[in-house]
Structure 1
Amino acid sequence: MAKHEDVINGVIFPVGEKNEAYAQFFVGQSYLKSLVSDPKVSVGVGNVTFEPGCRNNWHIHRDGFQILLVTGGEGLYQEEGKPAQFLKTGDVIVTHDGVKHWHGDTKDSWFEHIAITAGKPEWLEPVADEVYENATK
């Protein structure tokens, strides 16, 4: 289990500011640090940190993809209609265009990943507590 002290200074990259820009699409507190700010690069790259119990809403990446590189803690990833996957440092997730999914951390651990994202996300409904609870079992 990763504790706050384990990630406060960032596991690899610095923990960002509170993720106010996307807060409406998360249950719980997350932090975001943009890692690439070159306007000629059409792919977003950011370090996302989740407090225990935090997860994002179901969402779909349109006209693109998302790659998650897990850098610390313990997390979860689930595609619609499939069982949740437990994530740990070193895991890599590739989400293709049009796949409905969510990701976040476990109830007791902080979680960090680098998100590499192309295209535009379509944000959907929050992950129901029952779905989250089942994923954490």
Structure 2
Amino acid sequence: MIIDMHAHIGDFRLSPDEPREPLTWENLIARLDEEGIDMAALLPVYNASPEGAPAGVCLLDERMSVREQVVDAARYAGRIIPFGNMDPRWLHNSPDSDFGPLLDWFLAHGCKGIGEVTARLPFDDPRVISMFRQIG
């Protein structure tokens, strides 16, 4: 079995005028088929600034990409391995933030891990350490 361990879904164009197309589920599955890849690990992309987002918005607001991607991944359970995505600055931007409810949600929706963490914070930042301790 061949597994692509780093897949994304979304519109990565800088402008709607760019000639490339957004990467849809259908495009991803077709590409996996073309390349002879059995499954792919979905690493949801999250691009909003967490400092301005209220606690829990990443999962509770249906417009947020992490929630949509994880929920939609269930339609492709035989091909897509869903992962969650978190930012250490979520939930009050504190090393005391409790990520338990988010982790529980990801588990309940079939996520096998957390990634890709792109917070641009040092690994020894207390918020990062706290988040990774809670992830396990």
TM-score calculated relative to the size of structure 1: 0.31
Higher relative contact order (CA 8 A, sep 6+): 1
Greater share of residues in helix: 2
TM-score calculated relative to the size of structure 2: 0.31
